[in-house]
Amino acid sequence: MVKAVKGILVQCDESIKAIIEKIDKENGNTFILEALDDENLLISSGKINELKARLKSVLTDTVKEHEEPESNSDNNEMR
Amino acid sequence: MDGVDATVRGSVRTSSAAPPSLLTIILDTNPLSWSHLSSSLPLSAVLKTLLIFVNAHLAINHANQVAVLASHVDNVAWLYPTPDDGDASKQSSQTNGHTEVADEHRVVSNKYRPFLTIEKNISKNLRNLLTSDIPSAEALKSPPLLAGALSIALAYANLQLLKADPMTSDSASTGTGAVGAADLDAHTSALRTARSGHQFVSRILIVSVSQADLSSQYIGLMNSVFAAQRLNIPLDVLRIGERTAFLQQASDATSGVYLTYDPPNSTANGTNGAATASFSSATAGLLQTLMQGYFSDVAARKLLVMPGSAEVDFRAACFCHGKIVDLGGVCSVCLSIFCLPLEFTSCPTCQSPLRVPKSVTTKPVAFARRKKKKRKIGDGGRDSAAGTPVPN
Amino acid sequence: MSLSSAVLDYLQAQPGVTFKRLYLQPPTVLAVLRRMLPHLAKNIIMAMLFMPEPFLEEDLLTWIRAEARPQRDEAMTVLEQLHILTLVPEPPTPRAYRLNTAFASSLRQALMGGGSTNSFGVPADKDAPGPKRTVEELDKWARKQWEAILYYMVGSAEREYSREGNISSGTRKLLEMGEFIIMRGGRADITKGGFTFLLQEANAQVWTLLIVYLENSESVSSIHTKSKVIENQSKDIEQLQMDPVEMLSFLFMLGSLELGQDYNTESLTKTQFHMLEDLHDFGIVYHPPDARGRFYPTRLATTLTSSDASLLSNPNSSLSMNSGKGSIILETNHRIYTYTSSPLQIAVLALFANLNSCYPNLVSGKLTKKSIQRAVEKGITADQIIDYLRTHAHPQMLKNQPVLPPTVVDQIRLWQIEGDRMEATPGFLLKQFVNANEYRETAQYAENLGVLVWRNDREHMFFVTRIEQLQQYLAKRKTQAPRR
């Protein structure tokens, strides 16, 4: 019998998947419904926004953006 | 928050809108031919049917366009759009709409305005055409001016194509000088790329009824066919009555639709047909044929199985007399076709000398061609070898 | 969001009864045919329209080429969803398709004329009192009203352009309900949806707003009447139920009217007459205060049922009101120059560009990683930015092929995807298929429908965005299975 599960498919690369799994583990396994393969996860519908927020904060903490020298136009922005 | 999520951005649906399409109809309006059909399929009924077809074409896409040409006895006339005051007339007739009588009012509120405008214009122009001058009996029997009508239709289609794509029209206007073959090639290839980018597609529908033989217009007709082929415009032919070889060739060469429509015999409904409703079984059949066989434009034809004709008569007409020939001679320089035996020593089209062995001119038999080939190898073998590009 | 898909989504959510009533009006049928169907579906309808018998399924399948199967599935799906085509499964005879009777007769009526529904609008008497409006005046009116709405939204983003008071409170409420703006402490703040809205083409904007209007028709009508108690008959209106079918029919009818012509309001229903007021606020119609018995559709109305492609290709009918004519020049060094003095356009540009100098008729700036990513953060997509730049490109730019420098276009896209770490798609995961065959065919069907997002052939599961049709498909399979 075919079974249908309602949820949100999250497609990401493996490193992000690892972070999501970590977030899931720290929060009592409430996010992930099913790990489909290395790059795909099924997330429960109501949790996606919270997950995005958490992922974002983890990323800003860990990934250091390379600061590129902006042109001087930044300084005299139109007022 | 959505800085990390690409979904919204990724899933923007690509619009699969079909390109706007131009439908040009060439209607054979020879009064003599239509009078033969008047009991089963009168011109007025055909016109009504064509108008429904035109409306349907306009209905499916806001940008679709229509042009209707009448190939009359001794001239070709525009039925829509009216040429001299093309857009202006459209405007004025539209704004004049409400000045007409109250009865007209009721019609207006129940009909989509663009449809109404086209119907009015076409019937008005056709009435003018049919009542304006009475052609001579001889002229009536002469073939309709199909080659001329086709050239006008092709020119119009090309114009609309240029208008639809400002890029190509820009480059065309800059090159106003003498147009060489290279320019022409660049132009057509530009048109092709524009077409592959789904800018604008067009097709031509020929409604042909006249019995007359078209072989005198063979050259003009075939030139138009090649132009249409180049522009990727299918020539659809709806033939009412018996087959015609050249129109079938034309539609075959441009991958158009060729169908013959035989109105059901008039004796059955002839008694009530003319008097009763606008829809006899003959017109209903015609309408269904149009809607299913001819409705799809170039874009849709890629998806549909189009009605095809089983066999095509590929015979050509000779350039010298305009007769249909089974076996003929071909000028090796310009590819003009002549009936055998040859009557001249140089090609009347390109003036190159035609040296044909006696045996060919006198006895047109099958093995004559082999002899001709041999002669060619002997004469021009060197030249053609030199002309072949060497692959590197 | 493509606009026809927006309307389509709205329609698909309607119950079958609604369709039955909708299809009684020829203009509605015409608009649905023109705007919401794939090209192949239009051809199928036209072939069937004058067919005396139902179209045999077998014949239909042979008519459409085998390699066009995805298009066929797509066309049939839409046709069935909109209740235009139904499969008649009469056991003794072969399966055949039949057109919805109301749809077919309305379409025939539209093509052939006749009937007495007054569905294409009753033009006003020529000698009715009151001055006539020209097309220019109507254009001016429509632009003024519509830009006021856009200004209001931009103004809520960039305070210096704020010009509140120009738009009615009903419209303001509507923008809030559509989640284009959020009221925070008496101030309006533009939302992500609002940004998306701003960068759309005018025609798409109109539809987006109208759909919000339709969805909220009941609450809008009550809000509106409260704000407009000037009228004596306000009591009447307050009890009025806005009927979505009548509203939709009216909108589709507006799309078939003629610009510059005034129409009589007498043939309108109460709901439709009431809508005139709101549409007047949006600038979609002009309802002259000195001649209440007439109304003029503006260009915004008459192009409602045109397709976006035709708007782009025909500069005369173009509704790119924010600029009139294209004025943006983008150079390969990411510098951007715009010949404009319109605060609206400057504000829109400032959403994704770093503007650094402003002259009376020219603004110049630069697209930077920061400015683009700032826009992306707000929910604007790179494609929207690129589309905006392309549609508003200066005529001089249009001579280039491609119009925008590819390096810049690529860079904008790269800047966007740099931040993208994941994609989330709501939907359903299907698994535990009985056998490989069932899995393969169902997945193939889902793929043809265009709902398949991800599949895993080893584990026999796949993920789809919509499930309704798959459920039908699986049920159908079940009933067919024993026969094999």
C150 and C293, same domain (yes or no) = yes
Average pLDDT rounded to a whole number, residues C237-255: 73
DSSP state of C459: T
The region that residue C121 occupies, defined by phi over 0 for left and psi between -120 and 50 for alpha, beta otherwise, is left
* Chains within contact range of chain C (3+ C-beta pairs < 8 Å): A, B
pLDDT of residue B124 exceeding 50, the answer is yes
Contact across the interface for C425 and A9, Cβ inside 8 Å: yes
Shared domain check, C91 and C30? yes
Which of C399, C419, C439 is a domain's end point?
C419
Residues B197, B330, single domain; the answer is no
- Residue C234 pLDDT level (bands cut at 50, 70, 90): very low
Give the total number of structural domains in chain B. 2
User: Would you call A61 an interface residue with chain C, using a CB distance cutoff of 8 Å?
Assistant: no
Tell me, yes or no, whether C188 lies in a domain.
yes
Whether residue C157 is predicted with pLDDT greater than 50 in this model: the reply is yes
**Could you tell me if C227 and C356 lie in one domain?**
no
Q: Is the pLDDT of residue B87 over 90?
A: no
Q: In this structure, is residue B294 part of a structural domain?
A: yes
Average pLDDT on C346-370 reads: 88
* Chain C residues whose beta carbon lies within 8 Å of the beta carbon of residue A16: 421-422
- CB distance C355–A5 less than 8 Å? no
Instruction: Determine whether the interchain pair B4/A49 forms a contact, defined as Cβ–Cβ distance below 8 Å.
Output: no
Domain annotation covers residue B13: no
In the stretch 8-37 of chain A, residues with CB closer than 8 A to chain B read none
Q: Across residues C12-24, what is the average pLDDT?
A: 82
pLDDT at B53: 92
* Domain assignment present for B150: yes
DSSP collapsed to 3 states, chain B: CHHHECHHHHCCCCCCCCCCEEEEEEEECCHHHHHHHCCCCCHHHHHHHHHHHHHHHHHCCCCCEEEEEEECCCCEEEEECCCCCHHHHHHHHHHHHHHCCHHHHHHHHCCCHHHHHHHHHHHHHHHHHHHHCCCCHHHHHCCCCHHHHHHHHHHHHHHHHHHHCHHHHHHHHHCCCCCCHHHHHHHHHHHHHHHHCCCCEEEEEEEECCCCCCHHHHHHHHHHHHHHHHHCCCEEEEEECCCCHHHHHHHHHCCCCEEEECCCCHHHHHHHHCCCCCCCHHHHHHHHHHHHHHCCCHHHHCCECCCCCCCCCCCEECCCCCCEECCEEECCCCCCEEECCCCCCECCCCCCECCCCHHHHHCCCCCHHHHHHHHHHHHHHHHHHHHCCCCC
Gap between the Cα atoms of C349 and C372, Å rounded: 11
Domain ends where: B301, B329, B344?
B301
**Of C115, C143, C173, the domain-final residue:** C115
Q: What are phi and psi of C381, to 5 degrees?
A: -100, 160
pLDDT band at residue C241 using 50, 70 and 90 as cut-offs: low
Tens of pLDDT, residues B8-22: 443 333 345 677 889
Q: How close does chain A come to C480, measured CA to CA in Å? A: 16
Asked if residue B336 and residue B198 are part of one domain, the reply reads no
- Token pair listed for C194: 């609002």
What percent of chain C is modeled with pLDDT above 70? 81
Range with the largest mean pLDDT of B352-361, C123-132, C142-151: C142-151
- Helix (H) / strand (E) element for C225: namely helix C217-227
Give the span between the Cα atoms of C164 and C9, in whole angstroms: 32
B15 closest CB neighbour out of C2, C115, C120: C2
Of B171 and C442, the structure prediction assigns the larger pLDDT to: C442
Please, what is the average pLDDT of chain C? 78
Residues of B in contact with A55 (CB under 8 A): 4
C296/C286 Cα distance (integer angstroms)? 5
> What is the number of domains present in chain C?
4
Structure tokens at B297: 């434009």
| pLDDT one-digit tens code per residue, A7-49 | 888 888 888 888 888 888 888 888 888 888 888 888 888 888 8
Considering C374, C398, C419, which residue would you say is the last residue of a domain? C419
- If asked whether residues B259 and B332 sit together in one domain, one would say no
Give partners of A (≥3 CB pairs < 8 A): B, C
Question: What percentage of chain B reaches a pLDDT higher than 70?
Answer: 63
Give, in order, the Cα–Cα distances in Å from B70 to each of B22, B24, B144.
17, 11, 10
- Sorted by where each starts, the structural domains of chain A and their CATH numbers stand as 7-78 (3.30.70.1220)
Q: Name the phi and psi angles at A51, rounded to 5.
A: -60, -45
Q: Using omega within 30 degrees of 0 as the cis cutoff, is the peptide bond preceding C89 cis?
A: no
The span from the CA of B297 to the CA of B21, in Å, is 7
Residue B184 confidence (pLDDT) above 60: no
Contact C356 A59 (CB under 8 A): no
> How do residues C193-205 score in pLDDT, each as one tens digit?
787 788 777 777 8
Give the number of residues written for chain B: 392
C76 occurs within a structural domain: yes
Q: What is the CATH number of the domain that holds C57?
A: 1.10.10
In a domain, B75, yes or no: yes
Going by C-alpha positions, the residue among A35, C452, C412, A33 that lies closest to residue B9 is C412
User: What is chain B's mean pLDDT, rounded?
Assistant: 70
The answer as to whether B93 is a domain residue is yes
Choose the most confident range, by mean pLDDT, from B192-196, C161-165, C440-444: C440-444
B8, B15, B291: residue with CB nearest C47 = B291
Q: Residues C230, C277: contact at Cβ < 8 Å?
A: no
Q: Are both B290 and B322 inside the same structural domain?
A: no
Can you tell me the distance from the alpha carbon of C249 to that of C26, in angstroms, rounded to the nearest whole number?
Answer: 9
Statement to judge: residues C196 and C234 lie in one domain: yes
Chain B residue with the nearest C-alpha to that of C403:
B167
pLDDT value at C443 more than 50:
yes
**Pairwise CB contact (< 8 Å): C126 & B99:** yes
Residue C228: which residues within 8 A CB-CB, separation 6 or more? C170, C234, C277
SS3 C304: coil
pLDDT tens digits, one per residue of B261-308? 877 654 444 344 343 444 567 788 888 888 888 888 888 888 888 877
Residue bearing tokens 């987006």: C208
Within a domain: C120: no
Q: Which of C234, C263, C51 is nearest to C138 (CA)?
A: C263
Identity of the residue in A3, A42, A68 whose CB atom sits nearest the CB atom of C369: A68
Structure-block tokens of residue B243? 């087959």
The reply to whether residue C39 touches residue B299, judged by beta carbons under 8 angstroms, is yes
Q: Write the pLDDT tens digit of every residue in B24-59.
A: 999 988 888 888 888 778 888 888 889 999 999 988
Is residue C61 domain-shared with residue C104, that is, in the same domain? Answer: yes
Chain B, residues 1-30, CB within 8 A of chain A, namely: 1-5
Say which residue, C233 or C272, is predicted with more confidence: C272
Q: What is the pLDDT of residue B367?
A: 53
Q: Mutating which of C37, C43, C452 best tests the B interface, going by the most B Cβ atoms within 10 A?
A: C43
Q: What is the pLDDT of residue B321?
A: 76
- Cα-based distances in Å from C205 to B24, C136, C195: 35, 22, 11
Whether residue C255 sits in one domain with residue C139:
yes
Question: Are the beta carbons of C422 and A3 separated by less than 8 Å?
Answer: no
The answer to whether residues B247 and B330 belong to one domain is no
Judged by DSSP in three states, C275 sits in: helix
**C-alpha torsion sign, points B157, B162, B164, B165:** positive
Same domain? C332 vs C474? no
Task: Note whether C225 and C293 are same-domain residues.
Answer: yes
List the single residue in B with minimal CA-CA distance to A48: B5
Per the CB < 8 Å rule, is C430 touching A4?
yes
Nearest residue to C283 via CA among C314, C263, C242, C254: C254
Within a domain: residue C331?
yes
Residue B199 has pLDDT above 70, yes or no: no
Full residue range of the structural domain in which residue C476 is found: 428-483
Co-location of C175 and C272 in the same domain: yes
Q: What angle do CA B201, B80, B84 make, to 5 degrees?
A: 110
Is B349 within a domain? yes
Three-class secondary structure of residue C322 per DSSP:
coil
In a domain, B377, yes or no: no
| From B120-124, B186-190, B240-244, the region with the lowest mean pLDDT | B186-190
Cβ contact B63–C314 (<8 Å): yes
Torsion of CA C373, C376, C381, C387, to 10 degrees: -50
The overall average pLDDT reported for chain A is 76
Structure-model confidence comparison of residues C416 and C305, the more confident one? C416
Q: Which of B227-231, B370-374, C74-78, C288-292 has the lowest mean pLDDT?
A: B370-374
Q: What is the pTM of this model?
A: 0.71
Kind plus residue range of the DSSP H or E element containing C328: strand C328-330
Is residue A50 within 8 angstroms of chain B, CB to CB?
A: no
Question: What band does B173 get if pLDDT is binned at 50, 70 and 90?
Answer: very low
- Residue in C closest to A11 by C-alpha: C423
pLDDT at B23: 92
B188 vs B153 pLDDT, higher one: B153
Structure-block tokens of residue B100: 């007409």
Shared domain for C28 and C104, answered yes or no, is: yes
Structure tokens at B234: 């299918």
The answer to whether residues B158 and B295 belong to one domain is yes
Cis peptide before C402 (omega within 30 of 0): yes
* Domain span holding position B335: 315-367
